[in-house]
Amino acid sequence: MVRAAKPAAALDADASGIALAQKAVQLIAGHARTPISTASVAAALDCNPNYLSRIFHKVHGHTLTEAIHRRRIYEAKLLLIEEPLTVEQVARTCGFGSAKYMGLLFHRYVGMSPLAYRQQFTIPASSIVTILKASQKECLAATNEKLSPPAPLPSRRVLRAGEGSIF
> What is residue 6's predicted lDDT score, i.e. its pLDDT?
44
Is 60 exceeded by the pLDDT of residue 25?
A: yes
Q: Which residue has the higher pLDDT, 138 or 58?
A: 58
Contact 41, 24 (CB under 8 A): yes
Helix/strand/coil for 105: helix
> Would residue 79 count as lying in a domain?
yes
Contact 126, 119 (CB under 8 A): no
> Would residue 146 count as lying in a domain?
no
> Would residue 23 count as lying in a domain?
yes
Is 50 exceeded by the pLDDT of residue 51?
A: yes
> What is residue 76's predicted lDDT score, i.e. its pLDDT?
95
Residue % of the chain over a pLDDT of 90: 56
Is 80 exceeded by the pLDDT of residue 53?
A: yes
Q: Could you list the residue range(s) of the whole structural domain that residue 16 is in?
A: 11-121
> Would residue 153 count as lying in a domain?
no
pLDDT tens for 95-124 read: 998 999 999 999 999 999 999 999 998 877
What average pLDDT is seen over the chain? 81
Please give the tally of structural domains in the chain.
1
> What is residue 142's predicted lDDT score, i.e. its pLDDT?
59
Question: How many C-alpha atoms does 27 have within 13 Å on its Cβ side?
Answer: 22
How far does Cα 15 stand from its chain's mean position?
Answer: 26
> Would residue 156 count as lying in a domain?
no
> Would residue 37 count as lying in a domain?
yes
CATH number at residue 81: 1.10.10.60
> Would residue 158 count as lying in a domain?
no
Can you tell me the distance from the alpha carbon of 92 to that of 84, in angstroms, rounded to the nearest whole number? 14
Beta-strand runs (E) in 35-131: none
**Mean pLDDT to the nearest integer, 19-47:** 92
Torsion of CA 156, 157, 162, 167, to 10 degrees: -30
> What is residue 34's predicted lDDT score, i.e. its pLDDT?
86
Category of 123 on φ-ψ map: left (φ > 0), alpha (ψ -120 to 50) or beta: beta
Give me the amino acid identity at 33. R
CA–CA distances in Å: residue 74 to residues 18, 94, 96: 23, 9, 12
> What is residue 98's predicted lDDT score, i.e. its pLDDT?
93
> Would residue 57 count as lying in a domain?
yes
Give me the amino acid identity at 94. C
